[in-house]
Structure 1
């Protein structure tokens, strides 16, 4: 039971960290000059593709992680596009 409690606590910690990063990302987007957004969108796309290939080539990465990654990359990309 202790392992389950520790796993639950770690998941909650990671969720909190993820939310904090999303808030920081959102704040950064809002203060960037508009002319920087196309470059950021292009770099985000490149970095996401590299990260996705890396995830796909790792033996211990589950399909759920990849699906979640894809979903969040798409959400961030949509957020960027909506600011243009």
Structure 2
């Protein structure tokens, strides 16, 4: 999480459609907190590895596929974001 706790409420009050809830350097409980927050307050959530290069692994970043949305999360994202209509 890149936002300090003292600023988080102010940031989350902005008119976002969704937030990145799953991140490679975030522990399970923090990810779960943001997933639940996104499900209650926003339309969707995303995941990000913060991948930058296939060169040496940087401790600030992870490799593609380390953090991801599972199939049901992807379907939920497409449905709620309006990116694609699913039957």
Larger Rg: 1
Q: Above 0.5 in TM-score?
A: no
Q: Which has the higher contact order (CA 8 A, sep 6+)?
A: 1
Q: Which has the higher helix share?
A: 1
Q: Which has the higher strand share?
A: 2
| Short-chain TM bin | 0.3 to 0.5
